[in-house]
């Protein structure tokens, strides 16, 4: 008599069929993590720039603010980062724009730019 083999090997076939979906899900989750991290970096860079800009003389404010904002970004994130505004009278603000990379920082970027904004009251020197 011949025995039936049943469902032997079915789990392997189903796993192989689901593997691309599992990988795609992991890639999408990782990409969303990078978008969130880009927001965090942009906000922190703006905060650091404003902090340095409030203590700088008005004539040197933009350079000091921009340098401090970009200093805290790693090389891969700093490459496409821009400090769009850094200054003000009485209330110093900074806007930092960072491009969101595709899967790895330093690789190609999405056409999505993340903005961080921060502000602080100017320090009075007497």
pLDDT (tens digit, 9 = 90+) per residue, 48-99? 888 888 877 777 777 788 888 888 888 777 777 888 777 767 788 888 888 8
pLDDT tens digits, residue range 15-44? Answer: 888 899 999 999 999 999 988 988 999 998
Look at the domain 10-121 and name its fold: 3.30.1300
Q: What is the pLDDT of residue 24?
A: 94
Find the range with the poorest average confidence among 44-53, 107-116, 117-126.
Answer: 117-126
Q: Which residues are paired to 29 by β-bridges?
A: none
Tell me the pTM: 0.76
Q: What is the pLDDT of residue 29?
A: 94
Q: What is the pLDDT of residue 28?
A: 92
- Residue 63 CA to residue 86 CA, distance in Å, equals 8
- The tokens for 47 are 């905060």
């Amino acid at each position: 008599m011949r025995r039936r083999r049943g469902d032997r090997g079915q789990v392997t076939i189903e796993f192989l069929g689901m593997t691309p979906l599992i990988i795609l899900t992991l890639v999408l989750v990782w990409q969303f993590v990078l978008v969130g991290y880009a927001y965090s970096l942009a906000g922190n860079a703006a905060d650091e720039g404003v902090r340095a800009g409030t203590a700088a003389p008005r004539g040197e404010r933009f350079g000091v603010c921009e340098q401090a904002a970009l200093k805290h970004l790693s090389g891969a994130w700093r490459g496409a980062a821009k400090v769009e505004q850094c200054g003000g009278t009485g209330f110093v603000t900074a806007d930092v724009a960072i491009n969101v990379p595709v899967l790895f920082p330093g690789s190609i970027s999405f056409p999505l730019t993340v903005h961080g904004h921060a502000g602080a009251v100017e320090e009075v020197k007497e």
